[in-house]
């Protein structure tokens, strides 16, 4: 965390975007703010016959390669082709992999990357100058509302991190940009996914999963994300209170094990109680993870006990949903067990891709998580956020 006082122009996204717009305007460009729901860029700029799209990235840390790839993908899209070039302007700087990517694009790339300082824009290496001698200008923009998901059970090892990451993957495949926030001090999510994944879409603009450490998280750092998924710490009090209060949906992973149903029932009851102390509006979904099919007869018996354990909560809390495992559950799978290994580097364009995107035929994790994403999308009505 920074101890020194930040200059006013980077205090939040709006100030930063205005600052960038000013710098560009002073260099003789006409600057227009993109419409609030416009995907891919923040400012459209024009001088003589040149039109450019500018992505303004307000971050507390360095730009990552997936964030750049998303912009490159936008510039290749039909909408993006209307622009002669793109500028990617950020607050702090560019991380190692991002710098390597920029260098691999070379001098003639359609994208130029820079940092906005107090009086000028400088290149990504802080040396090559993008523009100088600024003059005043102005713009404003509202932040579209994001949907917040938490994945929380007050117990370790039930699949919170697995569910958070793969739900992010499934939603990214369905056309959403996702911010994944790692709130667990164990940082398993970051160990597994790194700082993000770019999910290419052959039919349109690709999407990103950007990963944030809880301490770096700020809504303005993820302005292009429609969905925020928090991988929560199992100790509720260790999660930032504002975030818990902000959750619209919370997924509560559990296991359906004949010996543990009552014990797990108690864990879920405690989980719900803890969430409700801070947040009364979130829809809560209990999700069976690590499901091993016991055959239909035993499953029906187990389901009765399972639903019984939550009957009381269901009767008093109308935003509590216990997902029927026959409808949606996450099956036990070797692929999931080792799923971290499947987040592979794709050497062709240095984009990492989610493993389940690569596996054809029957792929339990992918099918299960897409069904979960569909289920939640239907219940939650987040389809309007879909961009592509």
Smallest separation, CB 154 to ligand ADP (Å): 10
Helices 160-173 and 364-380: crossing angle in degrees, nearest 10, is 80
Who's near 46: CB < 8 A, 6+ residues apart? 29, 30, 32, 52
State the Cα–Cα distance between residues 368 and 248, nearest whole angstrom.
Answer: 22
Of 40-48, 185-193, 272-280, 377-385, the segment contacting Mg ion by CB under 5 A is 185-193
d(CA 266, CA 121): 56
Binding site for ligand ADP (CB under 6 A): 156-162, 188, 289-290, 330, 332-333, 336-337
Minimum CB–partner distance for residue 366 and Mg ion (Å): 21
Q: Name 156's Cβ contacts closer than 8 Å, sequence gap at least 6.
A: 234
Q: Which is nearer to ligand ADP, 21 or 193 (CB)?
A: 193
188 binds Mg ion (CB under 5 A): yes
Contact of 78 with 53, CB cutoff 8 Å: no
289 interface partner picked from Mg ion, ligand ADP, none, CB below 5 to 8 A per type = ligand ADP
Residues 372/170, Cβ–Cβ less than 8 Å = yes
For residues 83 and 336, what is the distance between their CA atoms, to the nearest angstrom? Answer: 41
Q: How far apart are CA 192 and CA 199, in angstroms?
A: 16
Residue closer to ligand ADP (CB basis): 50 or 338: 338
Q: In angstroms, what is the minimal distance from the CB of 290 to Mg ion?
A: 14
Q: Which is nearer to Mg ion, 162 or 279 (CB)?
A: 162
- DSSP for 133-178? S--------PPPPPEEEEE--SSTTSSHHHHHHHHHHHHHHTT--E
* Angle, helices 65-76/96-105, rounded to nearest 10 degrees: 30
Q: Which is nearer to ligand ADP, 155 or 223 (CB)?
A: 155
CB of 355 to Mg ion, least distance (A): 18
**Judged by CB under 5 A, which stretch of 5-13, 26-34, 155-163, 282-290 contacts Mg ion?**
155-163
Rounded CA gap, 223 and 252, in Å?
Answer: 26
Rounded distance between C-alpha atoms, residue 35 and residue 194, angstroms: 31
Q: CB of residue 245 vs Mg ion: minimum separation in angstroms?
A: 21
Binding of Mg ion at residue 233 (CB under 5 A)? no
| 141 binds Mg ion, rule: CB under 5 A | no
Strand-strand pairing, 178-182 and 227-231: parallel
Among 160, 166, 283, 366, binds Mg ion (CB under 5 A): 160
Q: Rule CB under 5 A: say whether 289 interacts with Mg ion.
A: no
Nearer to ligand ADP among residue 70 and residue 243 (C-beta): 243
Q: How far is the CB of 172 from ligand ADP (least distance, A)?
A: 18
Give the whole-angstrom CA distance, residue 369 versus residue 356.
10
Q: To the nearest whole angstrom, how small is the minimum distance from the Cβ of residue 161 to Mg ion?
A: 3
Residue nearer to ligand ADP on the CB measure, 131 or 231: 231
**Number of Cβ within a 10 Å radius of residue 263:** 11
Closest CA to 87 of 136, 142, 29, 143: 29
Q: What is the number of the residue whose Cβ is closest to Mg ion?
A: 161
Name the residue nearer to Mg ion (CB basis): 64 or 188.
188
46 vs 342 by CB, closer to Mg ion? 342
Nearer to ligand ADP, 59 or 328 (CB): 328
- Residue of the chain from 161, 208, 221, 271 that contacts Mg ion (CB under 5 A): 161
Min CB(183)–ligand ADP separation in Å = 11
The residue range among 156-164, 171-179, 291-299, 380-388 that interacts with Mg ion, by the rule CB under 5 A, is 156-164
Q: Show Cβ contacts of residue 380 under 8 Å, excluding neighbours closer than 6 positions.
A: 147, 248, 249, 283
Q: How far is the CB of 253 from ligand ADP (least distance, A)?
A: 7
- Give the binding site for Mg ion (CB under 5 A): 160-161, 184, 188
């Amino acid at each position: 965390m920074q101890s020194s006082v930040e200059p006013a122009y980077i205090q939040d996204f709006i100030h930063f975007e205005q600052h960038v717009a000013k710098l560009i305007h002073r260099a003789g460009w006409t600057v227009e703010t993109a419409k609030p729901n416009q995907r891919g860029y923040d400012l459209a700029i024009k001088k003589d016959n040149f039109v450019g799209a500018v992505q303004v990235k307000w971050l507390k840390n360095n730009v990552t390669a997936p964030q750049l790839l998303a912009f490159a993908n936008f510039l290749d899209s039909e909408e993006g082709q209307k622009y002669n070039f793109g500028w990617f302007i950020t607050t702090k700087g560019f991380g190692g992999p991002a710098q390597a990517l920029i260098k691999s694009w070379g001098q003639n790339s359609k994208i130029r990357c820079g940092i906005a300082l107090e009086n000028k824009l400088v290149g990504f290496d802080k040396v090559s100058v993008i523009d100088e001698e600024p003059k005043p200008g102005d713009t404003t923009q509202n932040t579209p509302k994001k949907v917040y998901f938490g994945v929380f059970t007050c117990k370790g090892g039930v699949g919170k991190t697995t569910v958070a990451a793969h739900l992010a993957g499934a939603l990214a495949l369905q056309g959403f940009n996702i911010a994944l926030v790692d709130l667990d001090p164990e940082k398993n999510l970051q160990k597994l996914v790194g700082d993000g994944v770019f999910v290419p879409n052959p039919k349109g603009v690709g999407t990103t999963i950007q990963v944030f450490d809880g301490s770096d998280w700020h809504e303005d750092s993820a302005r292009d994300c429609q969905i925020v998924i928090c991988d929560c710490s199992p100790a509720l009090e260790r999660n930032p209170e504002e975030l818990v209060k902000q959750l619209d949906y919370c997924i509560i992973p559990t296991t359906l094990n004949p010996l543990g149903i009552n014990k797990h029932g108690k864990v879920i009851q405690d989980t719900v109680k803890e969430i409700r102390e801070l947040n009364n509006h979130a829809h809560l979904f209990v999700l069976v993870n690590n499901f091993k099919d016991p055959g239909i007869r035993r499953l029906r018996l187990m389901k009765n006990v399972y639903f019984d354990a939550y009957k009381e909560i269901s009767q008093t809390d109308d935003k509590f949903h216990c997902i029927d495992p026959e409808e949606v559950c996450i099956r036990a799978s070797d692929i999931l067990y080792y799923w971290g290994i499947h987040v592979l580097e794709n050497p062709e364009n240095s984009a990492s891709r989610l493993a389940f995107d690569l596996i054809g035929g029957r792929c339990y994790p992918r099918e299960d998580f897409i069904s979960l994403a569909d289920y939640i999308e239907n219940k939650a009505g987040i389809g309007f956020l879909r961009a592509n």
